[in-house]
Structure 1
Amino acid sequence: MLVYITIIIAVIALVFEFRRQLMMLQQNSYRNDRYSRWLSTSQDSTSAMRLVSGAVLLASLSTLTPAIWISAGLICAVSLTNTIILARKKYKKPLVMTRRASRILLTMLLLAAIPTVICLFVCQAQGASLIFVADIILAAFCFSQSFALVANWLLKPVEANINRKYYQDAERILRGMPDLKIIGVTGSYGKTSTKHYLNRILSEKYDVMMTPGSFNTTMGVIRTVREYLKPYNEVFIVEMGAKQPGDIKEICDLVHPEIGIVTAVGEQHLESFKTIENVQRTKFELIDSLPTDGLAVVNNDFPFVANRKVDNVKCIRYAVSECGPAQYIAEDIRYSAHGTSFTVVTPTGEKFGFSTHLVGECNVSNLLAAIIVALRLEVPIEKISYAVNDIQQVEHRLNMKRTPGGVTIIDDAFNSNPTGSKMALDVLKMMTGGRRIIVTPGMIELGERQEELNAKFGEYIAGAADIAIIVGHYNREAIISGIKSTDTTSLDVHTVNSFSEAQQLLATTLKPGDTILYENDLPDTFK
């Protein structure tokens, strides 16, 4: 009976572990190369849970027949422990059980079932103990990453065929809407906020659909077209993300945008792009795809946008800080506890004043891009002004709120980057009513410049905050070295292992009037 119970518990532990590995594969965009890189850097293959399970497996395989009950007991104990640990574990971005994820999980389980069933028949035929079946299941647990990699590889042609059918269906839908105005928005950062702001402003005149959430991949856009786009929509705003060259062109080949916005070209995703020149080429795939009667709207505040020549389509350049040859400029930017006021100067010299609940120069820049496109689409200026004043802050993107206890929270937890983090610190620096506190794990996906840019981030922290709480180990040394490189002696630095520990620390130190900046929140693939 103990052996049967052991097998059942081992199977449950294996399912939990397969789901965890599938979650990590999903967070790595179902790409085996990225998932393999995560495995090599995360030390997941040599985790304590896996090492203990491996030790129990070896002990079981070396145990003589009279000690089968000992083997069963050990496997049962370790499998039960693993099950409890995995069942209780909380994730920032849990597994989304899509149809693709379901197919991969089923394939993983089938791959594990093949040797298990063979072992079962062999044991029954030879009268051997079924403890060897439990050994096979525990071995699958120890090498669960291999099952994820193989299952994903085996299903690659299946997924390609399914995606091709979805792609063709989305093409058919778009062909049936020839009057639909399609606007593409891309950039190293700022594209999601710009998409939301543009959606709100254009809604004053048009029936608008935008890609929801972070549906900024080809499949995300396809899903939006097939499931959300309606025949009566007049404008379709498409956020376009990229992890490698060609990603944005692939989206453009599907939707054929007539207006393109490039919000930024910066040091983001350098781990996959390698150089900022590759980032530039990829972001400008949007502009290169525009028709001759289209419009490019690009942000000249970034050198690798300003130095990119655009001669295939009319190009409007805008700026907030590096005005230079920009045609549209935001000036007289003023912050208050209620938000921001600023003035937009047009190419003809006209000036329009705007007020918004948003804060930060980056948000003014994103609003400026949206205003330019709205003017192009003939939205009346009074409606634009009303919409800008009505725009709500996008969650986790320099979102400011006050607690009943008098503490101001600046939530900039989504996808931090060198430019955006500096802007967020500039906002924190202006908060002089109490202590200024930053909670951050630093920035990721910066390739060879990871340590350098996080050290620079530490220098900015030293000049803007009174208390710094550094979360996790991934960037801790780099950020602290940057802080120490400055002459600041008043900054109070704390290191914690998780955001929950940071919250516990804040609970004992916060006072009315304090301001907290949450800058980035690393996914489960980083420690």
Structure 2
Amino acid sequence: MQILLITLFILPFFYKTFFWLYTIQLKDYRWDRFREYIFTPQGKRALFNFWFLIETPILLFTLLIYSNYNLEGVIFKMLFYLFILENIFVIGKIFRKKVFAPTFTTRTNLILITLLIIVGFIIYFSFFYPIFYFLILFTFVGTHFLILISNIILLPIVDYKKKKIINKAILKSKKYSKPIKIGITGSFGKSSVKEFLSFILSKEANTLKTPKNINSELGVSNFIINNLNNNFKYFVAELGAYKVGEIKLLGKIVNHKYGFLTGIGNQHLGLFGNIENTIKGKSEIIKKVIKNNGILYINYDNKNIQKIIFPKNLKYIKYGIEGKNLDAKSQIIKLKNGKTVFDFTYKNIKTKFKTYLLGKHNIVNLTGVIAFCIDLGIKIENLENYIKELEPIRNTLKIIEIDGNFIIDDSYNLSEDGLFAGIEVLSSFNGNKILVLDDIIELGKDSKKIHFEIGERIGNSGLVDKILYAGVNYEKDFLYGLSKSGFNFDNLITDLEDIKPGDVILLEGKGSKKFFN
């Protein structure tokens, strides 16, 4: 009987294992990010789903075998039919190609091997005892828990290897001192600044940049070890963080002379804990800039950056469009159908730039980049040509024209500031304006409040004609805020089947793309 149950257990167990491995990998194997996910409505649904409601009573019932061994046959039948149903469910998922699976890296493989050892141990030592029925179902119900345990078991090995790699990267970064190193951090805008800056610098000299999505201590360290050398004149590194202390460590790794602080907002608020910690964490970029006698370029349009009291021995340049006492300032003259023209002022330089980049926040980012390039000695006429050649980053306010419709793809990375910059771009187009909006994640306890405020603000703006909410966590909160603004709910849509030629669609957040092929 036990062998039959184990056979039926295998397929649904691996289905659940792959899903939770995929999820924990998506959260960088970090407990803080995984915990944040679990407390979202989506995470709660993943844990406490239909199967959980069936499995839990059966799990408790299996304990009755200790009071009455005659129940063994009943318990076996319950588990047998449960696993049969689970197998049918999983096979259906496989045929519909709705199975989640992780990328099988060394760490994922080690977690999987550790998990299988734990499960094998549990089954082997309970095989001939009544507790077997309880433990095999407990193993199944608690797969996510056992994966977390496996991850914790491996932490000492992971930490040892991580420290070894980081120390090697620190030494290499110091050894190869010829490249001018630039560190870029912020709650939003850092990827854009990295791409714009590295594009321009690469036109002037050999330039190295961290690839897309590589901004963690381990990712940046591995990249430095494998790529940095004195053949490069510039090294542009994106520095990401989810808690205080991480930018400080990244500063040691990169050893940047120049820095960019692109903006501080509520993104990842649930991980930092509060906005004060976010400000403190992002401000850690300052230390290396001072130590290396460099300059920090700061987006002074950002209200949270304006709150920072910068050290007197820090050299910094304030850039933006709307901030007070700006050193480098831009003013948008024209924003229409895929083109932006803006005036730029810095020191004794006044000039005009044209670009295919859209959105006020992109022009703010460009303002800091241009100021930095001028300080490096790059000629204005060269900058004018380079900026004309700049293309939007993939899935970042990229304009696509299909069958008479403009699609504004801003699905790469969703933040509150980026959302409203996207809506501003949407409003510059003629035609019916449609917003497809995903959830903003990792906002912590303020998630519902922030989505309510976003809904109210969008409704009050009057810039959007129709809305399709693509998120799975905070739709009620968003719609409640929208209702407070007086938005006509007849203009809420559930798909894009009825779009007409001339309609303009803004995709905000990764989940927005599931409605659009």
Distance apart, 1:521 and its partner CA:
2.9
> Residue in 2 aligned with 1:498?
none
On the 8 A contact 2:19/2:99 being kept in 1, the answer is no
For 1:287 and 1:86, how far apart are their aligned partners in 2? Answer: 50
Distance 1:227 1:158, change over 3 A: same
Equivalent in 478, 493, 496 of residue 506 of structure 1: 496
For 1:487 and 1:55, how far apart are their aligned partners in 2? Answer: 46
> Residue in 1 aligned with 2:509?
520
> Residue in 2 aligned with 1:381?
380
Distance apart, 1:409 and its partner CA:
0.8
Aligned counterparts, 1:84-483, within 5 A? 84=91, 87=94, 95-120=102-127, 122=128, 136-290=135-289, 291=291, 293-310=293-310, 311-322=312-323, 324-348=324-348, 350-403=349-402, 405-432=403-430, 434-462=431-459, 463-483=462-482
For 1:256 and 1:268, how far apart are their aligned partners in 2? Answer: 26
The residue identity in structure 1 corresponding to 2:504 is T
For 2:135 and 2:486, how far apart are their aligned partners in 1? Answer: 59
For 2:3 and 2:134, how far apart are their aligned partners in 1? Answer: 12
For 1:337 and 1:80, how far apart are their aligned partners in 2? Answer: 52
For 1:299 and 1:92, how far apart are their aligned partners in 2? Answer: 42
Aligned counterparts, 1:15-54, within 5 A? 15-41=14-40, 42-43=43-44, 44-54=46-56
For 1:157 and 1:470, how far apart are their aligned partners in 2? Answer: 42
On the 8 A contact 1:467/1:493 being kept in 2, the answer is yes
> Residue in 2 aligned with 1:497?
none
The residue identity in structure 2 corresponding to 1:328 is A
The residue identity in structure 2 corresponding to 1:454 is H
TM-score by length of 2: 0.89
For 1:243 and 1:89, how far apart are their aligned partners in 2? Answer: 36
Runs of 4+ more than 6 Å apart:
89-93
Equivalent in 64, 77, 82 of residue 70 of structure 1: 77
* Per-residue Cα deviation, 1:29-86 (whole angstroms, up to 9, x for no partner): 3222442343344223321123334455566775745568735641441341353266
For 1:94 and 1:317, how far apart are their aligned partners in 2? Answer: 45
Distance 1:354 1:115, change over 3 A: same
> Which SS does the other structure have where 1:370 is aligned?
helix
* Per-residue Cα deviation, 1:429-459 (whole angstroms, up to 9, x for no partner): 2222x21001113423333432333223223
On the 8 A contact 1:441/1:475 being kept in 2, the answer is no
TM-score by length of 1: 0.88
82-91 vs 174-183, greater mean Cα deviation: 82-91
Percentage of matched positions with identical amino acids: 25
For 2:247 and 2:14, how far apart are their aligned partners in 1? Answer: 36
46-55 vs 160-169, greater mean Cα deviation: 46-55
For 1:241 and 1:177, how far apart are their aligned partners in 2? Answer: 23
> Which SS does the other structure have where 1:96 is aligned?
coil
RMSD (Å), alpha carbons = 2.6
* Per-residue Cα deviation, 1:202-231 (whole angstroms, up to 9, x for no partner): 001121111111111111111211234355
For 2:404 and 2:370, how far apart are their aligned partners in 1? Answer: 34
Give 5+ residue unaligned stretches, structure 1. 495-501
> Which SS does the other structure have where 1:464 is aligned?
coil
* Per-residue Cα deviation, 1:113-152 (whole angstroms, up to 9, x for no partner): 11111133x36xxxx9xxx867643331111122022112
The residue identity in structure 2 corresponding to 1:39 is I
Distance 1:375 1:162, change over 3 A: same
* Per-residue Cα deviation, 1:85-109 (whole angstroms, up to 9, x for no partner): 6646768996232211221121111
* Per-residue Cα deviation, 1:401-441 (whole angstroms, up to 9, x for no partner): 111x1111111223322221111111112222x21001113
On the 8 A contact 2:18/2:100 being kept in 1, the answer is no
23-32 vs 204-213, greater mean Cα deviation: 23-32
305-314 vs 290-299, greater mean Cα deviation: 305-314
